[in-house]
Amino acid sequence: MVNIKDLNFEELKEFVKELGLEPYRAKQISQWVYKKRVSSFNEMTNISKRTREELSKRANIDILKLVKVEESKDGTRKYLFELQDGNRIESVFIPEKDWNTICVSTQVGCPAGCKFCLTAKDGFTRNLTAGEIVDQYIQVQRDVGEDRRISNVVFMGMGEPLLNFDNVKKAVEIMTHKDMLDLSKRKITVSTVGVVPGIERMARELNRVKLAVSLHATTDEVRERIVPINRKWGIKDILRALRDYPADNTRRIMVEYVMLKNVNDTKEDAHRLARLVRGLPVKVNLIPFNPYPGAPFEPTPREEIEKFQKILWDYNIATFIRDSKGQDISAACGMLRTKEKTTV
């Protein structure tokens, strides 16, 4: 059984051809799935009943089952989806004043093993397919309503996107094709914890998409302790890849830095971070740590984060404190999935 959302437009045209249908049917099907967001072939009323029956035998449309949704007082909505194999993933809808964003997952669990991340505690199960990534957007857009169009996508949910590069790339192709979701590449951000070969592939194959790098430390010693993948690709390797990345001041690389009390939040860290990224077209996001039950770290006090921020601004490095939304719900990545496990 083919999942329609696993096919980019060229593959959809080939699938239609294999069924012996006219080539224009690919665009028709795509419009129904991605523009009108139907959940079954029977809703495609400008396609003959016989053809719809044949499509239903050969393919499916919806692959995610909504298990639970929590809504914060700030409008953030956290979704727990079940995949067809019974695994579960999370997505987050984040409303802003002038746009809406969805944070999508790319893997079940995560192999990166970051010590401050709740998702990492469950280990890694498997990659998501392109369709499972894209369907997160479709299901959430259906739920919030078409009057709140989601224009921005961040690949920052469960998983390390660049360790699932091929499926992430295809998902971006589907999201940005004019006959599919028709989103702007400039409004899509792919985040990585520092998978250097993936950054290099992004530079060649997805260079109009924004890049975010989760650095989280200014020395290899500290970074290896909290981001184990640093043993494979250290800070120098990451910075070398960033220097070669096609970015500029209108499309900056985002450097993500979670603030952990007495771990990576000293004045010396701030000065080192400034020296590391100086000369690169970056924007630094300082992220207050979102603690969860049993977390091995504590959040840096707000006043200390602000001091850290000022040091970076003194180096003329654009630096912002990225407060997490949805603090009154299961906001930390992996928290809703973990909570549901314990209640089942």
- CA distances to 43, 214, 294 from 298, rounded to whole Å, are 51, 18, 10
Token match 């993500």: residue?
256
Residue 117 assigned as binding residue: yes
CB 227 within 8 Å of CB 237: no
Q: Which amino acid is at 289?
A: F
d(CA 144, CA 119): 25
Catalytic residue ranges: 90, 333
Does 159 show up as a binding residue in the annotation? yes
Query: 239: number of CA atoms within 13 Å, CB side?
Result: 15
Give one DSSP letter per residue of 219-274, joined into a string: SHHHHHHH-GGGGTS-HHHHHHHHHTS--BTTBPEEEEEEEBTTTS-SHHHHHHHH
The first and second tokens of residue 236, run together, are 């120098």
Q: Is 113 annotated as contributing to ligand binding?
A: no
Count of beta carbons in the 10 Å neighbourhood of residue 61 = 22
CA 317 to chain centre: 25
- The residue type found at 253 is I
Q: Is 103 annotated as a binding residue?
A: no
β-pair partners for 260: 299
Query: Would the annotation count 271 as a binding residue?
Result: no
- Provide DSSP, 281-323: -EEEEEEE----TT-S--BPPHHHHHHHHHHHHHTT--EEE-P
Q: Is 160 annotated as belonging to a binding site? A: yes
User: Would you state the structure tokens that stand for residue 161, as one six-digit string?
Assistant: 């996107």
Residue 290 annotated in ligand binding: yes
Give the residue numbers of the binding site. 110, 114, 117, 159-160, 191, 214-216, 290
Give the residue numbers of the binding site for [4Fe-4S] cluster. 110, 114, 117
Give the residue numbers of the binding site for S-adenosyl-L-methionine. 159-160, 191, 214-216, 290
